[in-house]
Amino acid sequence: MITWLEPGRPFPPVSAALSDPPGLLAAGGELTPDRLIDAYRQGIFPWFNDGQPVLWWSTDPRMVLFTEEFRISHSLRKRLSKMSTASETGWEVRVDSAFDAVMAACSGPRLGQDGTWITRAMRLAYGELHRLGVAHSVETWRDGSLVGGLYGLAIGRMFYGESMFTRIPDASKIALAHLVTYLRHEHFPMIDCQQQTAHLASLGARAIARDAFADQLRSLVDLPGIKEWPKRLVV
C-alpha cells in the first residue's frame, strides 16, 4: 500500500517507497509550489501521465551527476572550444529566456514513447516555480533560434535536472556543459538525474544508494542559494 496524500498531509519517509514499481512512494496531493519544493528537498519527485493521480517517487538507487565527474566527448569538447574562440559564430547559451518554450519542447513526442509525463498540469506547476525563481532553463540558441536545452530546479546548492531536448546534434549537451561549468563555480557538487539511462551514464552520471543521496541532500538544500542567475553562460 502507498500513502494517499490529502491536502496538507506530509510525505511518508522515502524508505517507505515500494520495490514494485520501484520507488513509488505516494499518490495524490497537489502540485503547488510548497508541495513541490518540500518533495524535492526530501529527494521526492512527481512522475505521472494524463488520467493518473499525481504519483510521487523516490528511486533507489538514484542516478546523479557529480559536477566534477561530467564527461565531455572529444567531438563536444572540440565544438565548445570553437564556440569559446568564436571559430563558430551564432551560438548563445541563455538562462531563463524561454522557460515555457523549453518545457514545451521537452514534452514533445520522442522515439519509442507514447505520450509524455510533462503534462499540462506539470507545465503550469513548474512555470509557477520558474516565476518564483526556483525552476530554471538553460537554452542553446543558434542564429537566433532555440535549438536545444534543459530545465530543472535549484534549491540551496542542489540542482535537480528534469528534462532535456535537442533539435540539432549536441545542442542539449552544449547547454548541460555550460550549466555544469557554472554549477561548479557556484559550489553545486551534484545534479539529480532521477532515472538511470545509458545516455546519462555516457555523460558521467552514476547510480548511488538512496540513503547516500538523502544524506547529501540534507547538507545542500539548506545552504544559501544563488540570488540572481546570469542571463548567459560561457564555458
pLDDT digit string (tens) for 180-193? 999 999 999 999 99
Does 104 share its domain with 41? no
pLDDT band at 110 (very low <50, low <70, confident <90, very high): low
Q: Give the pLDDT mean for 135-142.
A: 98
Q: At what angle do helices 99-106 and 120-131 cross, to 10 degrees?
A: 150
- Greater pLDDT, 197 or 85: 197
Residue 85 shares a structural domain with residue 42: no
Q: Is residue 180 part of a domain?
A: yes
Same domain, 29 and 95: no
Q: Are residues 103 and 205 in the same domain?
A: yes
**Do residues 59 and 195 lie in contact, with contact meaning Cβ atoms separated by under 8 Å?**
yes
Q: What pLDDT does residue 223 have?
A: 98
Last residue of a domain, one of 30, 59, 88: 59
Q: How many CA atoms lie within 13 A of 141 on its CB side?
A: 19
Same domain for 105 and 91: yes
Structural domain harbouring 187: 63-220
35 touches 125 (CB < 8 A): no
Q: Is 86 in the same domain as 181? A: yes
CA-to-CA distance for 150 and 103, rounded, in angstroms?
A: 8
How far is Cα 160 from Cα 164, in angstroms, rounded to an integer? 12
Predicted pLDDT at 172: 96
Same domain, 128 and 197: yes
Instruction: Reply yes or no on whether the pLDDT at 111 is more than 70.
Output: no
42 domain residue, yes or no:
yes
Residues 129 and 31 in one domain: no
Does 216 share its domain with 105? yes
Res. 17: pLDDT tops 90: yes
Asked, for residue 232, whether it belongs to a domain, the answer is: no
Cell triple for 74 = 572529444
Same domain, 168 and 180: yes
Domain match, 168 and 94 both: yes
128 and 81 both lie in a single domain: yes
Q: Does residue 229 belong to any structural domain of this protein?
A: no
CATH number at residue 68: 3.40.630.70
Cell numbers describing residue 202? 555516457
Q: Bigger pLDDT: 231 or 8?
A: 231
Question: What residues pair up with 28 in beta bridges, in sequence order?
Answer: 5
- What is the model's pLDDT at position 84? 81
pTM of the model: 0.94
